[in-house]
């Protein structure tokens, strides 16, 4: 098998002039897969899955969504899911038709809304990674609390690693924390801050009943092949909520990844990639 070259960076510009930074990897003529990370993450959160997609012949694009990583922050602090959906529409306008959308958490919400808004010609398949219209309130609060903690940053990368280890006790704390540094920004005060715009959480958690109703309405409009991959130990998506999605999208498929929590790709990479590749290979070859 030929070696996979390093990713190529690509810049998308949205309708408001925001720069959205992405990486591309895989054959230029391969079926297109656009991966959208969750809130508080970056395009690096997909880990080895991107290389495995490229090795399987797909052209994988991983995006830093607005307010995250190397992409621009919204000057007006606009971070509603509809804003991420508009960004996705702008990106799809700049890509060939027929992309598969793989969205984790926040990225999945954006993908769901976008396809429901009539972009099923440009996006031919949908993979939701541990996200459904009705998410668990306590799990959502846990994520919010972690993102809201440490507003004054960290004195060192090691201190940030301690915070992550406390939040994700099921993952072994890495001995080498250099990879974590990519998720931090060192400011002029010498302290390290997370890579995302803190104004994303300044308005608190949106009304969950309103959000659920809005997303269920969007889900009912989805006609493209759909796969839900859930972390079996997720505190955000219950098995009951997953089954509700299957009722709303009757043609959807469902995979429960054992021993994975909310961040499925990072918790169980191989168990996540196997059903993803099978679904994409079967769907994008038609």
pLDDT tens-digit profile of 217-250?
Answer: 999 999 999 999 999 989 999 999 999 999 999 9
pLDDT recorded at residue 285: 74
**Are 75 and 53 contacting, i.e. CB atoms less than 8 angstroms apart?**
no
**Are 98 and 31 contacting, i.e. CB atoms less than 8 angstroms apart?**
yes
| Listed residue (108, 113, 100) closest to 131, CA to CA | 108
**Segments forming the whole domain that contains residue 27:** 8-146+208-284
User: CA–CA distance from 111 to each of 84, 150, 270 (Å)?
Assistant: 9, 30, 23
Domain membership flag for residue 72:
yes
Task: Give the number of domains in the chain.
Answer: 1
pLDDT in tens, 25-73: 999 999 999 999 999 999 999 989 999 999 999 999 999 999 999 999 9
Task: Select the more confidently predicted residue: 24 or 207.
Answer: 24
Residue 87: phi and psi, rounded to 5, are -60, -45
| Listed residue (55, 10, 13, 25) closest to 281, CA to CA | 55
Q: Identify the three-state secondary structure at position 226.
A: strand
pLDDT recorded at residue 268: 83
% the chain with pLDDT above 90: 76
Spatial distance between the Cα atoms of 119 and 90, rounded to a whole number of angstroms: 11
pTM for this entry: 0.93
Q: How deeply is 180 buried, as exposed, middle or buried, from its count of CB atoms within 10 A (0-12, 13-18, 19+)?
A: middle
**Residue 10 neighbours by CB under 8 Å, 6+ apart:** 21, 22, 23, 24, 61
Domain membership flag for residue 96:
yes
pLDDT band at 286 (very low <50, low <70, confident <90, very high): low
Structure tokens of 221? 């409009």
Domain membership flag for residue 170:
no
Angle at 268 between CA 171 and CA 172, to 5 degrees: 15
Domain membership flag for residue 239:
yes
pLDDT recorded at residue 22: 98
| Listed residue (138, 124, 42) closest to 111, CA to CA | 124
Domain membership flag for residue 237:
yes
Structure tokens of 37? 């990370």
pLDDT recorded at residue 170: 79
User: CA–CA distance from 37 to each of 43, 135, 162 (Å)?
Assistant: 6, 17, 23
pLDDT recorded at residue 2: 55
| Listed residue (42, 260, 48, 232) closest to 171, CA to CA | 260
Mean pLDDT in the chain?
A: 92
- Taking residue 197's Cβ as centre, other Cβ atoms within 10 Å add up to 17
Q: What is the mean pLDDT of residues 249-271?
A: 90
Residue 202 in this model has a pLDDT that exceeds 90: no
Q: What is the mean pLDDT of residues 109-124?
A: 94
The CATH number assigned to the domain holding 78 equals 3.40.50.1820
**Are 116 and 219 contacting, i.e. CB atoms less than 8 angstroms apart?**
yes
Which residue's entry shows tokens 């090795």?
55
pLDDT recorded at residue 259: 84
Range with lowest mean pLDDT among 90-104, 173-187, 253-267:
173-187
pLDDT recorded at residue 171: 77
pLDDT recorded at residue 262: 84
Spatial distance between the Cα atoms of 249 and 244, rounded to a whole number of angstroms: 9
**Residue 263 neighbours by CB under 8 Å, 6+ apart:** 38, 41, 45, 104, 130, 168, 231
**Are 104 and 41 contacting, i.e. CB atoms less than 8 angstroms apart?**
yes
Domain membership flag for residue 120:
yes
Spatial distance between the Cα atoms of 42 and 67, rounded to a whole number of angstroms: 10
């Amino acid at each position: 098998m030929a070696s996979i070259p390093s990713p190529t960076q690509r810049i998308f510009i949205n309708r408001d002039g925001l720069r959205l930074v992405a990486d591309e990897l895989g054959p230029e003529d391969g079926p297109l897969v656009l991966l959208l990370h969750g809130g508080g993450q970056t395009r690096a959160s997909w880990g080895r899955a991107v290389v495995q997609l490229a090795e399987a012949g797909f052209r994988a694009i991983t995006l830093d969504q607005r307010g995250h990583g190397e992409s621009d922050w919204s000057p007006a602090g606009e971070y509603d899911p509809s804003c991420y959906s508009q960004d996705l529409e702008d990106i799809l306008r700049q890509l060939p038709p027929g992309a598969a959308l793989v969205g984790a958490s926040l990225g999945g919400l954006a993908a769901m809304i976008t396809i429901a808004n009539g972009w099923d010609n440009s996006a031919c398949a949908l993979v939701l990674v541990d996200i459904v219209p009705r998410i668990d309130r306590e799990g959502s609060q846990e994520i919010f609390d972690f993102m809201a903690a440490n507003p004054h940053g960290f004195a060192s990368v090691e201190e940030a690693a301690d915070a992550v280890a406390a939040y994700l006790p099921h993952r072994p704390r890495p001995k080498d924390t250099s990879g974590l540094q990519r998720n931090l920004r060192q400011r002029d005060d010498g302290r390290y801050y997370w890579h995302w715009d803190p104004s994303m959480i300044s308005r608190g958690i949106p009304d969950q009943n309103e959000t659920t109703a809005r997303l269920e309405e969007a889900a009912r409009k989805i006609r493209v092949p759909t796969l839900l991959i859930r972390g079996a130990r997720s505190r955000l998506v219950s098995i009951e909520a997953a089954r509700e999605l299957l009722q709303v999208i009757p043609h959807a498929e469902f995979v429960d990844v054992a021993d994975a929590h909310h961040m499925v790709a990072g918790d169980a990479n191989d168990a996540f990639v196997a059903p993803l590749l099978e679904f994409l290979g079967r769907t994008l070859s038609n």
